[in-house]
Structures are given as structure tokens and as C-alpha cells.
Chains A and B, each alone.
Chain A
Amino acid sequence: MPYSWKKRKNLIILLSLIFLQLILISVQVPLGEEENYFERVVFTVFSPLQHGVVSFFRGLGNFWKSYIGLHRVHKDNERLREEMFFLKQENNLLREMLKVYRTEKEISGLFSDLQKKILPARVIGIDASNVWKSLNINKGSLDGVKKNMVVLDKHGHLVGRIVDPISFREARVQMITDTESGVSVIPEAKDVPGVLIGEGNGRCKLEFILSTDTAIVEGDRLITAGFDGIYFPGIVVGHILSVVGVEGLFKIIKVEPSFKIQELDLLAIITVDSKEVF
């Protein structure tokens, strides 16, 4: 084959590959469209590998803890008993307080239903492009996972929601620190609703708080307001880090999310629709 034709052929192949990918990128704009079929297929094929690797290493870790690290078992047991004691006390107090608004029967029914709707999951991978955007978990459609289900960390703090793609045993979670994420929030005990948007670097910003507002101060704890129809109200989201200034009509407010990315391993997926909870 003549050399110049070979060079031209190679260049044509390269340009075709790039052109196809640029088409692929452009059909996904505007952002927020559903994942394309090809991406779903790749995710479905490769996510079980992630799942397998993490399960293998977790199994090794559990073997070490169970059979070799026995000296820590008694200490851990005592610590967990103490923690459970205080949690039970707290739970009883909260139930008593809730009786002001609901009957005992309604409360028992509500909590027993809620327990059935919590699906534990583990993190098996994180976003390749930005660790603050999304993560993959080891529960999928066969476990009852659906889009927009709320995801909490082991302390009950908001992490994000389930987004596409969802394969049979794996799913993706969009974190609240993603720039495309928006959560309606209010400070605890204050009636100043705003929208929490991720900054893509581990922090968030609270938007749409008027510059004339004086209620919001540093240290205020933020909880979900429930106005977005996705996150049910009352979930702890984070706290106000700083009120740095004013931009136009609104304040510039930085927020530190409550979840810690280094501790993200065990998560809770709330499998009930937010409208059904309260």
C-alpha cells in the first residue's frame, strides 16, 4: 500500500474516532439527559468486576478481624453495647416527643415500615473524573433499587441519590457535592429555605438566600426541606462554613457537608418514596 495512502488512511480513522466521540458528547447536551445505551452496557459489564474485587478484599479483612484480631472483639463489643444503650434512650425520647403530633399506633406503624424500607449498601467504586461527583454501590435493580432513592451514610447524614445507570446488582449515587446536584434545605429551627449546590471540590454552596437576610449565621446546621420532591424533610445535610459576601441579590454562603468521604463505606438506601414517609 503506498505510504501516503497509509498515512491518509490512519488520519481518516483517527478523525472518525474523534468525530464519533464528539457526536456522542454533543447528543448528551443539555446535561441531565438519560444515560445512553452504550454507557449502560459498559457499566453493566464492568461494575460486577468492581463489586467482585471489593467483596474479595472485604472478605479478607473480615477473616483477619474474625480469626486473627480476636483481641479487639471484646473491646468492640463493649463499645457497641454502650452506643446501642444511648441510641435506644435517644430513640425513646424522640418517640415520646413525636407523640405530641401522632398516636402511638401511628408511630409504631411508621417506624416499623421505615425499618423495612432501609436497604444497606456498600461503596464499591468512585467517580473516575472527580471523586466528589458520584460513587458506585453494590445494590442494583434486583435488590429493589430505583432512580432518585435517597442515600444516607451510616450516621444518617445525606450523601446523595440514586441515578442512572442501574445494573442488576450495582448502581450509581450522585453525591450532593456534585455541581449538578441541587437539594432544597433549611437551617434547623429557622424558616429560610435555600438550595444547596455542590462545588465539585468537597464543599457546597447555599444559594438563593437574600442579601438582606440576617437569620443565617456560621455554624447553622442545614437539614433537607423536602420541597424538591426527592429528599424527604429532616435529613442532616451539613453546616454553614462561612458567609463570605454578596453577589447580586443573594449571599455567598459556603457549606461543609456532614458526610466524610474517607468514611463512606456502609450506606443506607431509603427505598420508600419521599412523599410516603411523612
Chain B
Amino acid sequence: MKDFFWMALSIVAAFLLYTVFSKISLSLLHLINLFSLIVIYFASERGEIYGACLGTFCGLIQDSFSLGVFGVAGVSKTLMGFLAGYFAGKVNVTSLRRSFLFIFVLISMELFIWASLFTFVFSERVSTGGGLLFFQPLLTALLGSVGFYFIRKKKKSSS
């Protein structure tokens, strides 16, 4: 129940931050993928099915605020959530360096799947925001690895 509460709060926080970013600068939206970070974190903590379901939910929220086909971001986040939970169970990804690499690979994979599906459905190229989209895996992984490190450290010290 507690986990569910934190997950719901994280989704709402990500959504609100996304709104704030869009008012500060449009470039920030291309550079940081907050919803994916939430999916990766909870998938690593709770497993692949939790990750897949959360990925579906977050992806569909993201899709509902875009004009176009509902479900494109959902598919990519579902896959990413599943893989995040699966590999987190097999490999220790708690250290800063491993966490960075883990998030980087997952976000890159998600971006690739999303872009491929987007191109297939819409028959048009993805808008890269002047190339900023290519930096999304790097910056999101940096932010995520540092954030996860502090969250896990705090959890450890409180328990």
C-alpha cells in the first residue's frame, strides 16, 4: 500500500514537473524523460510485471497529452518497464556507475522503439528538437542514477 502511494505520488510529481518544464523551456522536454525514470525505479524495486504495468500506465498518460495515436508511448514504456524489472533482478544495478549505464541503455532502447513505432504509424520523421532528443538518454541517466542513489541511501539509513 505504501509503495502504491509513493508510486502514485511520483507519477503526479513527474506530470507536474513536466508541465513546469514546458513553461520554462521546451528544450527540457526533449532532454529529460521523467516518466521513464519512474518506471525504471519502481520496476527495479518490484519486478518485471510491476514495471510493465506501470510502463503501460505512464505511457498512456503521456499519449493522452499528445495529438495522435493513443498507445505509441505505451508500447515502448511497457517493454522498457518489463526489461528494467527483469534485468534488475539478475544484475546488481544499485551502484552509481551501474545504475547510470542501466538507465542509459533502457532509455536508449525505449527511444528507439518509440521512434520506430512513431515513424511506422505516422509515416513521418520524429522531431528531434534540433538534435536535443539524442541527449535524452545521457541526461536522463545522469539525473536518474544520482536520484536513485540518494533515494536508496535514504531508504537504507531509515531502515
Contact = CB atoms under 8 A, between A and B. Distances in A.
A125 B99 CA distance: 31
Given A54-B19, A131-B129, A46 B72 contact: no
Interface string A148-175: 0000000000000001000000001010
B71 A49 contact: no
Interface residues of B, number: 43
Contact of B56 (A21, A29, A42): A21
Interface string A189-202: 00000000000110
B66 interface: yes
Given A14-B78, A17-B52, A129 B22 contact: no
A17 B56 contact: yes
A17 B127 contact: no
Contact of A178 (B23, B63, B67, B70): B67
Contacts, number: 128
B23 to A, nearest CB: 7
Contact of A172 (B62, B67, B74): B67
B61 interface: yes
Interface residues of A, number: 47
Interface stretch (B10-18, B90-98, B141-149): B10-18
A39 B64 CA distance: 6
Chain B facing A: main interface SS: helix
Contacts of A108: none
A125 B65 contact: yes
B68 A133 contact: yes
Interface stretch (B1-9, B118-126, B151-159): B118-126
Contact of B121 (A13, A29, A38, A133): A29
Contacts of B69: 25, 28-29, 31
A136 interface: yes
Nearest to B129: A131
A127 B63 CA distance: 9
A108 to B, nearest CB: 39
A18 B75 contact: yes
A197 to B, nearest CB: 11
Contacts of B72: 25, 129
Interface string B46-59: 00110011001001
Nearest to B123: A179
A21 B127 contact: no
B88 interface: no
A128 B63 contact: yes
Contacts of B67: 127, 129, 133-134, 163, 172, 174, 178, 180
A207 B12 CA distance: 42
Given A57-B23, A200-B127, 10 more contacts: A10-B82, A14-B82, A17-B53, A31-B68, A39-B64, A53-B19, A129-B66, A163-B67, A180-B68, A200-B124
8 contacts: A17-B52, A17-B53, A21-B75, A22-B75, A25-B70, A29-B121, A46-B15, A262-B26
